[in-house]
Amino acid sequence: MRRILGLSVFLFMLSLSACALFPHRDPLNINVVGIEPLPNQGLEVRFAVKLRVQNPNETAIDYNGMALDLEVNGRTLATGVSDQAGSIPRFSEAILSIPVSISAFSVLRQTLGLSQTQGLDNLPYVLKGKLAGGVFGTMRFVDRGTLDLPGSAATW
């Protein structure tokens, strides 16, 4: 019984010290800085989303893949992945480009999801993504806001 108690205490202390070995990282600052058209395929539209990624940490962020999801009005509109690899130095920033696809069915779902009284202004969006960096190095990010499309307040 004493051995089990001693082993339990030892494992608990070991787990506490293991947590201290992983450095604390501040969240990345992500901003969409551009959208460029890419060649389309059939019933989809493709864009290259350019993200400014700022690293406010004391260590570099190494990544070997990216993923991005854009939800508008509570529904997925665009998704994209890239196997691009690189590093963002400490207290620095980089522009990353991720190709995303918007299918005709996503556009149809978005259109059917709008009520007749709801315009294209103030549509809520959620941009979710990650920079893959191995088991403990993956950095996830989320940006939320509303889309305000100029000239979308059409009068009938």
Find out whether 78 and 101 touch, Cβ atoms under 8 Å: yes
pLDDT in tens, 69-110: 988 888 888 999 999 999 999 999 999 999 999 888 777 777
pLDDT in tens, 114-145: 655 455 667 888 889 999 987 677 888 888 88
What the chain holds in terms of domains, given with CATH numbers, is 25-147 (2.60.40.1820)
Say what the pTM is: 0.70
